[in-house]
Amino acid sequence: MINKTAAIIAAAGMGNRLGANLPKSLVKLLDKTLVEHAVANLSPVCELIIVTAPNGYESEYTKILGDQVKVITGGVLRSDSIRIAISKIPANYEYVLVHDAARALASTTLASSVLNQLIQGEQAVIPALDVIDTIKEVDSKGYVRNTLNRSSLKVIQTPQGFSRSILERAHQASEDATDDAALVEALGVAVKVIAGEDRAFKITTPSDIATALKFLIPDSDKKYKVGIGVDAHAFTTDKTRKLSLAGLVWESEDGLDGHSDGDVAAHAICDALLSAADLGDLGSNFGVAEAAYAGATGAKMLAECLVKVKSAGYKIENVSVQIVGNRPKIAPRRAEAISALSKALSGAKVSVSATSTDGLGFTGEGKGLSAIATALIVSA
Ligand code: CTP
Ligand code: MG
């Protein structure tokens, strides 16, 4: 069969410049190691992936990469590693992508563009970026020798793609080179340059990790804002008023006074949300005496606050509320309360806790309940 594509991922370096105290390819970026990112990005366009591991780390690489890849022991130099890997590719593979695990974030799209050029008949294809800075040659004494013509210079990346026979021949020369295209050039074969991508940069030094994370978390420039809210209500003497608290009705507990249902937990969360979004507070938004809110449930207020927070361009990351008072005991209905509050907030993460105040203050004397809440919101 023809047209089969193999990828070699060079991952046998120790990453001395990164200084992570483990091979660079095993360094984690969020949920995956560099080599796992590289494999995940290339696997959609390759039938076979060979990963070169540092001597002694083979089983560790096999463990994290599973059966989908073939792990082999790399050589002393990168070009040695590639040469060993080429020898392991079965004869029926026509195209080979050679990639660095250190360029872990190079996209599947880039690999696919390289491969497309091979399919269209190119024998060697490399991705590249334009040079932004002026480049000068400098002598060993620190003096400029000359200034290069920037317009014809390119920064070369991987994955580089080759017809298998060309790559094999190039490596038979057994010379060292930091990229495989250089060996192919030495054979006099035309090497096609296509547009590379910023995210295919080589992770080399510690500051590159932060740069890489920015590609993985495009929302790292999202704005997080925190808000706080407090509410308190006295127990009512009106025996017909049931206790509304944390989105639940508590039968046979004393109710709380208030224009609305008096749900201190819901109201504290509302204030926390409004304050996080710079939207004022419950009073300034709903009016304490507004007829429309007479007897309004905590759930209704929460839902309306959520709409306001959303309109301001935010979504809720989480809210947390603590209820302060002697009774009711919250723990037995905590899960129910969380689910009621969360439902009112369209599924937002909610946590509910409670405390008594050791007999102190109006809550300790059993005169009422209070609640304090925080909300974390993030620009949507
Ligand atoms: N590589 C390899 N075999 C070697 C040396 C390097 O497979 N004998 C791989 C590295 O794992 C890396 C890629 O070649 O993915 C490019 O090399 P580089 O970025 O220099 O990685 P390291 O050699 O690991 O880093 P350093 O030079 O800082 O030690
Ligand atoms: Mg190196």
Angstrom CA distances, 19 to 77, 253, 339, stand at 18, 62, 46
CA 38–ligand 2 middle distance (angstroms): 17
Q: From the CB of 11, is ligand 1 less than 6 Å away?
A: yes
Half-sphere exposure (Cβ direction) of 243: Cα atoms closer than 13 Å: 19
DSSP, res 219: G
CATH number at residue 89: 3.90.550.10
Do residues 111 and 8 both lie within one domain?
yes
Q: pLDDT band at residue 163, thresholds of 50, 70 and 90? A: very high
CA 78–ligand 1 middle distance (angstroms): 6
pLDDT, tens only, 177-203: 778 999 999 999 999 999 999 999 999
Do residues 228 and 204 both lie within one domain?
no
Q: pLDDT band at residue 220, thresholds of 50, 70 and 90? A: low
Q: Whole domain around residue 316: which residue ranges?
A: 224-379
Q: Which atom of ligand 1 is nearest to the CA of 103?
A: 15
Q: From the CB of 204, is ligand 1 less than 6 Å away?
A: yes
CATH number at residue 316: 3.30.1330.50
Q: Quick one: pLDDT at residue 1?
A: 44
Do residues 6 and 76 both lie within one domain?
yes
Do residues 75 and 115 both lie within one domain?
yes
Do residues 168 and 263 both lie within one domain?
no
In this model, does residue 380 exceed pLDDT 90? Answer: no
Do residues 337 and 194 both lie within one domain?
no
Do residues 240 and 345 both lie within one domain?
yes
Whether the CB-CB separation of 307 and 316 falls below 8 Å is answered with no
Q: Which atom of ligand 1 is nearest to the CA of 10?
A: 7
Q: Quick one: pLDDT at residue 174?
A: 63
Count: domains in the chain:
2
Which of 169, 188, 216 is where one domain is finished? 216
Q: From the CB of 208, is ligand 1 less than 6 Å away?
A: no
Which of 166, 196, 216 is where one domain is finished? 216
CA 10–ligand 1 middle distance (angstroms): 7
Q: Atom 25 (ligand 1): residue with closest C-alpha?
A: 15
152 burial (CB, 10 Å; 0-12 / 13-18 / 19+) is: exposed
Task: Report the mean per-residue pLDDT for the chain.
Answer: 93
Which tops the pLDDT comparison, 221 or 213? Answer: 213
30 burial (CB, 10 Å; 0-12 / 13-18 / 19+) is: exposed
Which of 188, 216, 244 is where one domain is finished? 216
Do residues 189 and 322 both lie within one domain?
no
Do residues 337 and 212 both lie within one domain?
no
Q: From the CB of 25, is ligand 1 less than 6 Å away?
A: yes
Q: From the CB of 77, is ligand 1 less than 6 Å away?
A: yes
Q: Quick one: pLDDT at residue 115?
A: 96
Do residues 249 and 306 both lie within one domain?
yes
If you average pLDDT over residues 258-278, what whole number do you get?
Answer: 94
Angstrom CA distances, 339 to 246, 276, 364, stand at 10, 22, 27
Do residues 159 and 297 both lie within one domain?
no
In this model, does residue 52 exceed pLDDT 90? Answer: yes
In this model, does residue 275 exceed pLDDT 80? Answer: yes
Do residues 114 and 195 both lie within one domain?
yes
Q: Quick one: pLDDT at residue 157?
A: 98
* Euclidean distance between CA atoms 155 and 157, whole angstroms: 7
Give the bridge partners for 99, in sequence order.
9
